[in-house]
Structure 1
Amino acid sequence: MDGLTFSDHSPTPGLLEYKKCIQPVSIRLEGGKLHIHNHYDFIDLSHLFATWHVVQEWGNTNPREFELPQIAPGAEAIVDLPDWSGELHGDTWLSIHLYLKNETAWAPRSHEIAWSQIPLLENHTFELPSVVPGDINGPSIYEQPGRLTLTWPSCNEIFTFNLVDGNFTWANQKGSILTRGPELGLYRALTQNDVGFGGDGKEWLKFRLAETKMHVRGFTWFVNENGTMTVKATVRVAPPVLEWACNAQLIYTLGQGNLSIRAKGSFSGTVPRHIPRISLTMSLPKDYNRATWYGRGPGESYRDKKQAARFGRWEASIDDLQTNYEWPQENGNRSDVLWVQVKANNAVLEARMDVPLNFSLRKYSTADLDKSTHPHELTELHETVLNLDFAQHGLGSGSCGHLAFQEDRLSPGLFDFTVLFKTK
């Protein structure tokens, strides 16, 4: 469906993106100074007032006003950075906002006209903490035909591996955490851009991306000297019939209240030009129904659609994490995320990656999003699906234009990433 609003005239994410891209004032940091450019053709910026605050992982400073200089139409002014004496630690952003001074015929006073977030400190390679061991002697290990169970009696931690299909479950004294463990995946629901004349949808149908499944080739395991446990799964993600595949290792390191999963692999055979994603997908109990994260938000964002998404600490329910497009499709991703916490009534599961991650929290299955043509046809799952994406293919504009730009395309190749999970 075309257009920048939904049928009830509420804005789509595309309209918010468009508003950000054409905002009449832009700000950049150059040579330790702020460069403020007035893109208006006929007026200066005297009708606006400006505020700034600092965004960090543990919270934001209070907004403060600062005086805008006189900037003629089409001109640029250079001003000093605001005086801020705080410590730079982790990703830190200077957030600047410009608002209307007075009410107009089309907007109230304090309506936001433009904003910019300027990185003061970025760290896009993260050193993940080590997995915390349980008992120094390691877990109790129970081997059964097709099943491996690991327990730490001191903390009621139970990990179970299905050695046939690779399913992994995790529970503790608070109840079930993962009902179906992280599965390496390559596919997401199609978008209208994918199925348009310029999209990848036809090729993905030809290569049967929607039918790819993870198959287990082998398991090994051993107890480490510090009492943690390592389990290695050799897996193959492939469609039926066709000879191409993603061949990978999933290396689990398990401890008390936490685990890490390293996924590393490559592709073989006659592969598609592009793939939708490289991700870990898992199922949680249905009461894990809200999330807090530090990254881009509050709305959805993607690799090539994130100009309107602001860095910050955000919180949303699973309902608010869906974008209810009138033609069901892929939606609800949050990008450039440092960490995400998925919350139940009395439990929290936190995930971090060694690079900024993408996450989505789902009420519907990918297959249901693909087959439904109206929202009322979707059926809610009896579980919550969490996707943690290492890499994604851009959305592009294939419904009426072209593929994603070259730099936003995801081609099959080598990959290696680690996710750390811990409970609270």
Structure 2
Amino acid sequence: QKRPVHYESRNRWDGPDISRYDIISDMYSSFERLEYLFNTDTTRPVIICEYAHSMGNGLGNFRKYWDLYNDFPRFQGGFTWDWVDQGLRSKDENGREYWNIINHLDGANVNDGLINPDRIAQPEMHELKKVYQYFNVRNINVNTGIVTIANDHDFIDASTIYLKWNLLENGKSIANGTVDKLSIAPHSRQLLKIPFDRKLVKHGNEYFMNISFHLKAATLWADKDFEVGAEQLAFDLPATLPPGTPKEDLPALVVTEGNNSLSIKGQGFEVLFDKKAGALSQLVYDGKNILSQPILPYLWRVPTDNDEGGGDRGYATRWRKAGLDKPVIQPVSLTAENIGNNRTEVTLQNKIVTKEGDILHRAIYLVKGNGTIEITNCFNVPENLPPLARVGVRMALPKELNAIEWYGKGPFESYDDRKESAFVGRYAGKVEEQHFGHVMPQENGNKTDTRWLQVTSSA
């Protein structure tokens, strides 16, 4: 035998035995299973033949695997499953094109790639690229510009790469520059000082340093200036104003309570609560209601392909069985308390009735005389319910509000377990542009670590 053999070779793909060939192989292993494989036979390397199932909107927690692979050389990586969705382009009876989903037996399992059948990269590709990158940055003291640059290549030095840096204040660029020469051998590091003016950093603002690595010249696989790696470092500074900030001087509010409603009026706005619905029902600014529906608790989202997998053990099946897709909201109480003459705190309590238990919901609305509303939501969830698809409230707006700007992770979608590649900044776009068309329609377009969001109408 001249070549090492990698073959799973197990009686069941999820059985307890270990493959007997030169390389220990496995698929979709838990971290406990990986620990078992690694420690049971210390004479062979471990390569996962399938992991990080990329069907639809997936690739969560990808970094955790690579932290393991990078820390232990005998973990030699794995095969992300897989590269491209397998779908056929067909036409319906009206001549409209659609992706013909071939395999209905296990929920679109032929569409488990990182790119669509037409080779359009899915948003999860950003996370894979970020985790795979060979140039990485460690924060020594970014407040003064001191960082460490690591070159994790096996054979390639950093002579073909240049570095760009960009200082952000509250999400906007205020300074930038380039470092043209990096002298970093393979598996080596370089201490570097980013030459920014420290006087630009002012108390009470939020600062980030974005660092990216680019090709100096075109290669067979990428154009000149192509970004091969990037990192964002947060400054260790408080982003809030110091004590002693003057209190807001707010206009007065007028509160009117009826049998079935509560009205709070201020200069140019009115907030209406519906006691029967247990919700904030209208939000009127300059005589126009900007809500299409009452604001109510919402525990559902469209399942992803991976949610739909797993049969009776799958998340989507358990959610529907529990009735989380069609809950009944029963109002319990609504109370209002005036805090001076320019603040009113409204407390709503609702019972969310599901097939497997009731969820208690409490919403607190602090309405201020300048028209701002601070909202706090609390949910008491029975232990017997499955892990929830989503926890929060749903707000429906008129369709003419079709443009958004936000300060948070972006510019593409991000999730709590897939957001390392999305950097904090200020981004803008059309609402429809936040959607990504997977072969199987499913949850997409989420934003994380959002400081604020502005929704407006555009021409």
TM-score interval (norm. to shorter): 0.7 to 0.9
State how far apart, in whole Å, the 1-side matches of 2:361 and 2:452 are.
24
From the superposition, tell whether residues 31 and 125 of structure 1 become closer, same or farther in structure 2 (CA, over 3 Å): closer
1:147 equivalenced with 2:266 (yes/no): no
What root-mean-square deviation, in Å, do the aligned CA atoms of Structure 1 and Structure 2 show?
A: 2.6
Instruction: Give the SS at the match of 2:396.
Output: strand
From the superposition, tell whether residues 130 and 301 of structure 1 become closer, same or farther in structure 2 (CA, over 3 Å): farther
**Aligned residue among 96, 113, 134 for 2:251:** 134
**Aligned residue among 163, 166, 190 for 1:77:** 190
Count the aligned residue pairs: 338
**Aligned residue among 162, 172, 181 for 1:49:** 162
State whether residues 131 and 258 of structure 1, in contact with CA within 8 Å, keep that contact through their aligned partners in structure 2: no
Percent of residue pairs bearing the same amino acid type: 25
Counterpart of 2:397 in structure 1 is 284
State how far apart, in whole Å, the 2-side matches of 1:287 and 1:71 are.
53
Counterpart of 1:21 in structure 2 is 131
Counterpart of 1:214 in structure 2 is 329
**Aligned residue among 223, 237, 242 for 2:338:** 223
Runs of 4+ residues over 6 Å off in structure 1? 124-132
**Aligned residue among 338, 343, 366 for 2:451:** 338
Instruction: Give the SS at the match of 1:277.
Output: coil
Counterpart of 2:270 in structure 1 is 158
Instruction: Give the SS at the match of 2:130.
Output: helix
State how far apart, in whole Å, the 2-side matches of 1:184 and 1:335 are.
19
User: Structure 2 regions of 5+ residues with no counterpart?
Assistant: 1-110
* Deviation readout 1:238-288 (Å, 9 max, x if unpaired): 32x43x2221221222234221222224223x5324112221211111111
- The correspondence of residues 311-330 of structure 1 with structure 2, limited to 5 A, is 311-330=424-443
Query: Computing the radius of gyration over CA atoms, which structure comes out larger, 1 or 2?
Result: 2
Counterpart of 1:262 in structure 2 is 376
From the superposition, tell whether residues 287 and 130 of structure 1 become closer, same or farther in structure 2 (CA, over 3 Å): farther
Q: State the Cα distance separating 1:309 from its structure 2 match.
A: 0.9
**Structure 1 range deviating more: 117-126 or 60-69:** 117-126
State whether residues 201 and 207 of structure 2, in contact with CA within 8 Å, keep that contact through their aligned partners in structure 1: no
State how far apart, in whole Å, the 2-side matches of 1:123 and 1:160 are.
36
Task: Tell me the TM-score normalised to structure 1 length.
Answer: 0.73
1:118 equivalenced with 2:202 (yes/no): no
Q: State the Cα distance separating 1:213 from its structure 2 match.
A: 3.8
Counterpart of 1:178 in structure 2 is 291
State how far apart, in whole Å, the 2-side matches of 1:318 and 1:50 are.
33
State how far apart, in whole Å, the 1-side matches of 2:348 and 2:389 are.
23
1:4 equivalenced with 2:114 (yes/no): yes
Q: State the Cα distance separating 1:220 from its structure 2 match.
A: 1.6
Counterpart of 1:271 in structure 2 is 384
Instruction: Give the SS at the match of 2:346.
Output: strand
Counterpart of 2:305 in structure 1 is 192
From the superposition, tell whether residues 58 and 233 of structure 1 become closer, same or farther in structure 2 (CA, over 3 Å): same
State whether residues 176 and 285 of structure 1, in contact with CA within 8 Å, keep that contact through their aligned partners in structure 2: no
From the superposition, tell whether residues 148 and 321 of structure 1 become closer, same or farther in structure 2 (CA, over 3 Å): same
Bigger relative contact order (CA 8 A; separation at least 6): 1
Which structure carries more strand by proportion? Answer: 1
2:251 is matched by which residue type in structure 1? G
Instruction: Give the SS at the match of 1:194.
Output: helix
1:21 is matched by which residue type in structure 2? V
**Aligned residue among 296, 302, 305 for 2:409:** 296
State how far apart, in whole Å, the 2-side matches of 1:165 and 1:159 are.
15
Instruction: Give the SS at the match of 2:127.
Output: helix
From the superposition, tell whether residues 261 and 181 of structure 1 become closer, same or farther in structure 2 (CA, over 3 Å): farther
- The correspondence of residues 341-360 of structure 1 with structure 2, limited to 5 A, is 341-345=454-458
**Structure 1 range deviating more: 67-76 or 281-290:** 67-76
Counterpart of 1:234 in structure 2 is 349
State how far apart, in whole Å, the 2-side matches of 1:125 and 1:281 are.
29
Q: State the Cα distance separating 1:318 from its structure 2 match.
A: 0.5
1:108 is matched by which residue type in structure 2? D
1:107 equivalenced with 2:222 (yes/no): yes
State whether residues 332 and 349 of structure 2, in contact with CA within 8 Å, keep that contact through their aligned partners in structure 1: yes
From the superposition, tell whether residues 195 and 92 of structure 1 become closer, same or farther in structure 2 (CA, over 3 Å): same
Q: State the Cα distance separating 1:134 from its structure 2 match.
A: 3.4
State how far apart, in whole Å, the 2-side matches of 1:205 and 1:126 are.
46
Q: State the Cα distance separating 1:304 from its structure 2 match.
A: 0.7
**Aligned residue among 312, 316, 322 for 1:201:** 316
Q: State the Cα distance separating 1:123 from its structure 2 match.
A: 5.5
Q: State the Cα distance separating 1:129 from its structure 2 match.
A: 11
* Deviation readout 1:167-194 (Å, 9 max, x if unpaired): 3211121622223232222222111111
State how far apart, in whole Å, the 1-side matches of 2:217 and 2:158 are.
13
